[in-house]
Each structure stands twice: as C-alpha cells, then as structure tokens.
Amino acid sequence: MTAATLAEVLEPAERGGYALAGLVVLGWEDAVAFVEAAEEAGCPVILQAGPGCRAHIPVPVIGKMMRHLADQASVPVVTHLDHGYTVEDCRSGIDHGFTSVMFDGSKLPISQNIELTAGLVEEAHAAGVSVEGEVGYVGYAEGAASAFTDPEEAARFDRESGADAIAISVGNVHLQTEKTDGIDFDALYAIEQATSKPLVLHGGSGIPPEIRRRLARETRVCKFNLGTELRQTFGASLRKTLDDDPNVFDRLTILKSTMQAMRAGVSEILETITKV
C-alpha cells in the first residue's frame, strides 16, 4: 500500500469515532516496530519525525526511510514532519517525501499564524501533502507553561488557514513521564463547538489510557502524539537486555532486542484509541 496523507486517515477516523496514533520515530528499529504493530492491528499509523529526530537524522534520510516503510506496509502509513517551526522546515519535508507536515505557529500572533499556515497549505496541497497547524500553546513538563486554546482563535484558524487538522491545548503537556488527569473537557467542548476540522492532542503520553479512549470515542480528537511513553519503553527494554547479558556489545543485537517491547507498547495504544 502506498503512503497516505494525514487528511486521508483522519477523515475516516472522525466519521468512525476512533483516533490514530502519531508515533515519534528516532531510528529504524522503532519505525519498523511501529509499522509492524499497526499491521498486526490492521489500522493506519502516523510515523512522526520531530525536531529531535531531525537533528539526529537528516531530513532527506529520514524522509526516504519512512517512505520506504510506508510503501511496503499493508496498512496506510502517514509520514509526518512534526513541529516545523518555520515554513522552510515544512518545505524541506515536502521536498523529501513526507506526506504530511505540521507548521507550529503556536508562539505567533494568531493573524501571523494563520497567514503563514495558509501560504504553506497552498504549497503543500499542490504537492499532495497534508498540513497540521496549532492554536494555543502546548507546554512542557518542567518547562514552558501551556496557554489554552482560545475557541474564537481556533474558529478563525479553522475558517481561514485551510489546515487539515488543528492541534490544541486543553491540559495536555509535552514530555510528561507520569499519567495525569489534566484534560479540561469543557475547554475541549468549547473548541469543538467553534471548529469543524479534526483535532490533535500533542503530549499524549501524559493522558491515561481510559481518558484517551473517552476522547477517541466521544470527541473530535482524531490524533494523539506519543513519544515519551515509547522512549520509556525503549529505555526499560534496553536496560534489561544489558543487565541480562553483560557481554552483549553488538549494536544491531542490542537494538533489535528492543523491538518486541516497542511493538507491544504500540499495540496497547492502538487497542485503546483505534479499535472501535
């Protein structure tokens, strides 16, 4: 199956009352594990290259790697450049095989955010690429504080930007290592009333599974971004491998040993949010 755009997988999710997982990729092994888990579940998956990944692996390399996996997969696979802080970041993704890009204008005044997003949408859609935008600011655990999404600004962004999906801030936080019951459903419902596009929650690792399930079934949240939770799984598996065999030293052997745990972790996530 060929690679899919974000719009192509989110629209059926919104109609069907389920959500998809945007999984942060940091290397070949985890990307393969994520796709294998999605194939086992029979559902689409979104492979994401965020700023950390792009600092480690050049965009032309990670773009081709993800597209290779997507084109070989038996389920739809979106290759998504996450948190492009400039239009040039996003253009690089479009030029190197990504089927979706996120322009993060969350720190900009809403008018500038809309203007830049709308210009990018025109270029991206002409190339067959989806665009995710953000209104409000999703903060970081032990870092910058969040600014909740203003429903009126979200409504304007929805009408004027042309973006295919909107990331919002309603109590979700990046890099959260512990599960917290911080989602403000009243704030979310106000945004839903004001908008029409699929909604995205970054910082999905901090949202408990039962809350993820409720959000997927009862709201227009169609995409959860997950990274920290999977890095924790990777780290625990890696430590166990090294503890079990102090003499193991081969990089390929060590990294391959983490793939089963990563597949299992993603399978649990998909069971919670994607299974109807």
Q: Which residues are catalytic?
A: 82
To the nearest 10 degrees (0 to 180), the angle between helices 110-126 and 151-160 is: 30
d(CA 54, CA 265): 23
- Nearest of 27, 35, 84 to residue 56 by alpha carbon: 27
Q: What does the block give as tokens for 139?
A: 């903060």
115: CB partners within 8 A, 6+ apart: none
202 neighbors 225 (Cβ within 8 angstroms): yes
The dihedrals phi and psi of 226, each to the nearest 5 degrees, come to -135, 125
Rounded to a whole number of angstroms, the distance between the first and last alpha carbons of the chain is 22
Q: If DSSP codes are grouped into helix, strand and coil, which group holds residue 29?
A: helix
270 neighbors 264 (Cβ within 8 angstroms): no
5 neighbors 130 (Cβ within 8 angstroms): yes
d(CA 182, CA 163): 27
